[in-house]
Structure 1
Amino acid sequence: MKTMSAKELGTKDFQEILDNIMESVSVMDENGVVMWTNKANREKLGITTEVIGKEAKYLVQEGLIDKAVVYEAIESGKFTASIISKGSEKDVIVYCNPVYDEEGKIKFLVSSAMTCSEVNQILETLETERRINKTYLAEIKHLRNTLLLGEDFVIESTNMKCLLEDVQKLAPIDCSVLVTGESGVGKEVMVKTIHKNSIRKEGPFITVSIPSIPDNLLEAELFGYEEGAFTGATRGGKIGLFELAQGGTLFLDEIGDIPYALQVKLLRAIENGEIRRVGGTKLIKIDTRIIAATNKHLEQMIKKSLFREDLFYRLSVMHLHIKPLRERLEDIKPLGEQFIQNFNNKYKTDKKITEPAFNLMKKYPWPGNVRELKNLVERLGILSNGDLITAEDVQAVLSKISNTIDDIDPDHLSDDWKTNSQLTEEYSSYERTKILEALKTAHGNKTKAAELLGISRTKLYRKLKNL
């Protein structure tokens, strides 16, 4: 279908355009003769007769209005605004702006009108939005006053606000906490927030990523070891992470990956507040708060005898579950705005994300959650041509991704993404990176890598053939 150019638009086309503008619009020549007027203008001024070709003063003579603002604009040569009477009511605000030709003479004048009730409605809407924003800002200020939150901890959803209220209550209490949720939802940020607001905030915060440590070394890393405990042991022995975290917090990340045989030793350490180094006989008192996190369903692992039930209950005195980003879409905009602001601060740019772009983001299932959103915003900051990041920019990046390595439920995908035909290039790159990272973390152990990726070993081998 051929697209009509501006030059091909005729008088009828312009009249249709004017009639479909909600605001009142009229165009007059340099003498105040009406050239065009739209439907909204006629309705606001109560004009029922034909006025095209007549001077604006005709409306005054007919008693439809008490004065014609266009003459003030012609005389002053400047933008003019005034409230005029329509019948017995003073309820119409009229604006008139002269347009000049190349020689500096008035070519025509454009006038628009808005009733006072419309202005009041706009003011009421703005006031409502202002109150909502004020309430939201007050809530955030309250949370920031009662919780030591980082500037990048941005929330708007009710779910996250409730979680932070729970954090406010449990942070000062020296109990174990289990934080669950999909990869990338912000579990570590939540854990750090608990530590920063606890009585141990001046103490160390030690993080241990369970999957990153080989099973045969994990016990020694956690509890330490004595000299000669095993072949290759460091001379003089080594203190473990429990001891390093004395007086502070030990964060056990991805606790669902801890070997079953080691779980009972971890349970005893938490229950008794004592540890014994590998190869040692002396019990060492520990004063460490334990916070654990996982993206696995520990309850299901308990049923399969992969995770001890008693350890689960000991770790989850308080249980915080962070919902995936696709279930708290209200957080996408404030998070995106914060990420692009961070990008601007770092690279001295002035990028902004448009509302349609955010609306499109809300249709995507976000398998990588907040981490993926952050990466996307950084990529959009790099690839966007202008300062405005549009829906087209978002579509260009996200339309290439069909699903995730975890096989996201198709029900989570909107129709816009289900029907897109360009879904492979960037996904392949993303999938390849995730597989290689998992293999590196698992030190080449494909069974372990498959567990990290949340897929079967057979599926991993199939994917490796296509790399």
Structure 2
Amino acid sequence: MNSSNYWNENEQILLALKEDILVTNLDGIILKASEFTGKNYGVESDSLIGKSVYDLEAQGLFTPILTPMVVKEKKKITFVQTTNKGKKLLVTGLPIFNEEGELFRVVSYSYDITDLADFKNFLITMDEEMERVKSELDLLRGKQLHDTGIIAKSSEMQKVISTSLQVSEVDVNVLILGESGVGKSLLAKFIHNKSYRKKGPFIEVNCGAIPDSLFEAELFGYEPGAFTGANRKGKIGLIELSDGGTLFLDEIGELPLAHQIKVLKVIQEKQFYRVGGTKPIHVDFRLISATNKNLEHAIKERLFREDLYFRLNVVPITIPPLRRRTEDIVHFIHDLLKQFEMKYKKEKKLDEAVLHHLLHYEWKGNVRELINILERLVVTSPSTLITTEDLPDYIKASINLPYSIPLEHDQTLREMMDELEKQILQKSRKKYKTTVKMAKALGISQPSIVRKMKKYEIL
């Protein structure tokens, strides 16, 4: 087979592939162009033969050009080229060497990736849109929490909210644990409002506030004439009122042993008898309980029934005390200050030292105590600026502040808090050496310590 026939055969094979193939010499003059090359650029392929790729680029047919890149690098080159029709082509150029090993031709082939480029842009746009929607949902979620009075900026409280949202979807019994004043009833209402029972009643029963002699009548109700002094029409009990909604037994640890078996029976059977009644009353409620007591310890002391405990404690949720939620304290102070300013029509600002005192106080009464203190400060402070002189003596006496932050006019509360947190971590690092000991001393998790140290570049 002579060389001419050999070339023609190979050329026919290439044409059969129906690909965009272009051959130029080292000066960029087009020697061969397949039928499909012209289609990519909106011209006849034959009209390209003999023309310079440099001239065609100058005319806007395509950009950038491949030949000079391959000539310079003497290796395979791939990039994205744009045509005068707005198409995106993935172009690959190959160097062709003669028998002496010298470069004498450049062959290129391309693929139309316009659709892929458009799809990529679409994905980028969708990512941006999803990020926007996510941000809006975060803001909405934050607003919903704010509307319920729940502040969950700290990681520990965010876990509490996450668990609460999960359990709100199903009718599982929930036991909320935590010190007095942390917001257990608030969380119970939050779970109710996120459940499918939200349109039903939310009935709160303070088990420690009902006199022992009236407990059954209050909880189960009574029939007319059931006992001396009873309403002649009878009375519907709190459990019956919770039908279709949520029954919240607050301070369940205060429930006397004598009444615990009665509550257990209602939980198990979802039916009861009114005082003086003979007809069983069926009731459909979702049960949430709460206590600040250690029920396991109460069981050991025979003050609480173990079988009732296991009925209540299907999903336990522990709300951490306020002293372990420094980030939440800041937001509580900010929100409460605004609320009381509006309520009492007084403009107030906190001195830097007051903020430090409030952040380092133990808050044994938790959120309830913080609310009382902020309301007192707004009402009793004689000037717009609330200073340490306005603080109760027991708060001032309990604080020995080793930290200080210069108050800058252009600093936000968040920036000041970051500076304070950094100082605390630096001092704790010097004192305790390890992140485990630091976490134990500061009352937060060891991963939180590590994350915060990275944030402030503390070695």
User: Which category describes the TM-score, using the shorter chain as reference length?
Assistant: 0.5 to 0.7
Distance 2:292 2:149 in 1: 22
Pairing 1:374–2:371 present: yes
1:275 partnered with 2:272: yes
1:266 to 244, 257, 263: 263
Taking a change above 3 Å as real, the CA distance of residues 388 and 415 of structure 1, as seen in their structure-2 partners, is closer
Measured in 2, the distance between the counterparts of 1:247 and 1:352 equals 46
Instruction: State the partner residue of 2:324.
Output: 327
- C-alpha change, 1:197 and 1:236, in structure 2 (3 Å) is same
Classify the secondary structure of the residue corresponding to 2:190. Answer: helix
One-letter amino acid matched to 1:366: W
3-state secondary structure, aligned to 1:182: coil
- Against the structure 1 CA distance between its residues 317 and 296, is the aligned structure 2 distance closer, same or farther, given a 3 Å change threshold? same
Deviation of 1:185 (Å)? 0.8
1:356 maps to what in 2?
A: 353
Secondary structure of the residue that 1:211 maps to in structure 2? coil
Q: TM (normalized to structure 1)?
A: 0.54
1:171 to 168, 171, 181: 168
2:278 maps to amino acid: T
Is the alpha carbon distance of 1:287 and 1:187 closer, same or farther for their aligned partners in structure 2, counting shifts above 3 Å? Answer: same
For 1:249 and 1:149, locate their aligned partners in 2 and report how far apart those are by CA, in whole Å.
Answer: 22
Pairing 1:188–2:185 present: yes
User: Within the alignment, does 1:240 sit opposite 2:237 as a pair?
Assistant: yes
**Cα distance in 2 between the residues matched to 1:171 and 1:162:** 14
Contact kept? 1:332, 1:358, Cα under 8 Å: no
Contact 1:353 1:388 (C-alpha < 8 Å) held by counterparts = yes
For the structure 1 residues 179 and 237, does the alpha-carbon distance in structure 2 shift closer, same or farther, using more than 3 Å as the test?
Answer: same
Q: Does 1:209 align with 2:198?
A: no
Secondary structure in 1 matching 2:175? strand
- 1:232-268 Cα distance to aligned partner (Å, 9 max, x none): 2222322111111111111111111111111111111
SS in 1 for 2:299: helix
SS in 2 for 1:200: coil
How many residues in Structure 1 have an aligned counterpart in Structure 2? 270
Distance in 2 of aligned mates of 1:309 and 1:270: 14
Q: For residue 153 of structure 1, what is the aligned residue in structure 2?
A: 150
The 5-angstrom pairing of residues 98-177 of structure 1 reads: 141=139, 143-144=141-142, 150=147, 152-177=149-174
Instruction: Report the AA paired with residue 254 of structure 1.
Output: E
Counterpart of 2:360 in 1: which secondary structure? coil
User: Take 2:196 and 2:171, find their aligned partners in 1: how far apart are those partners?
Assistant: 8
Match of 1:305 among 285, 299, 302: 302
3-state SS in 2 of match to 1:399: helix
Q: Deviation digits for residues 13-43 of structure 1, max 9, x if unmatched? A: xxxxxxxxxxxxxxxxxxxxxxxxxxxxxxx
- The answer to whether the Cα contact below 8 Å between 1:149 and 1:193 also exists between their aligned partners in 2 is no
Match of 1:317 in 2: 314
Cα distance in 2 between the residues matched to 1:371 and 1:148: 17
- What amino acid maps onto 2:385 in structure 1? L
Distance in 1, Cα, partners of 2:201 & 2:220:
16
The alpha carbon displacement at 1:340 in A equals: 0.4
- Secondary structure of 1:378's aligned partner: helix
User: Structure 1 residues 185, 396: CA separation in 2 closer, same or farther (over 3 Å shift)?
Assistant: same
Aligned residue number for residue 227 of structure 1? 224
Q: For residue 10 of structure 1, what is the aligned residue in structure 2?
A: none
Normalised TM-score (structure 2)? 0.55
Tell me: CA distance 1:148–1:203, structure 2 relative to 1, closer, same or farther (3 Å).
Answer: farther
Check the 8 A contact 1:185/1:324 in 2, yes or no: yes
Superposition RMSD on alpha carbons, in Å?
2.5
Structure 2 residue matching 1:339: 3-state secondary structure:
helix
The amino acid across from 2:248 in the alignment is F
Deviation, structure 1 residue 382: 1.9
- 8 Å CA contact retained: 1:155, 1:334: no
Q: Is the 8 A contact 1:276 1:282 kept in 2?
A: yes
Determine the structure 2 residue equivalent to 1:128.
none
> Match for 2:245: what amino acid?
G
Amino acid at match of 2:308: L
Alignment equivalent of 1:198, drawn from 180, 195, 200? 195
Counterpart Cα distance in 1 of 2:326 and 2:188? 22
1:108 corresponds to which residue? none
Does the 8 Å CA contact 2:357/2:395 hold for their aligned counterparts?
Answer: no
Q: Which amino acid aligns with 1:313?
A: F
Aligned-residue sequence identity (percent) comes to: 47
Give the conservation status (yes or no) of the 8 Å contact 1:337–1:353.
no
- Measure the CA separation in 2 of the matches of 1:151 and 1:278: 36
**Whole-angstrom distance in 2 between the partners of 1:169 and 1:338:** 27
Aligned to 2:288: 291
Preserved contact between residue 148 and residue 197 of structure 1 (Cα < 8 Å): no
| Structure 2 Cα separation of the partners of residues 170 and 377 of structure 1 | 33
Does the CA-based 8 Å contact 2:246-2:285 persist in structure 1? Answer: yes
Aligned partners of 1:358 and 1:391 also within 8 Å:
no
Deviation at 1:387, TM superposition (A): 2.3
Aligned AA (1:266): V
Larger radius of gyration: 2
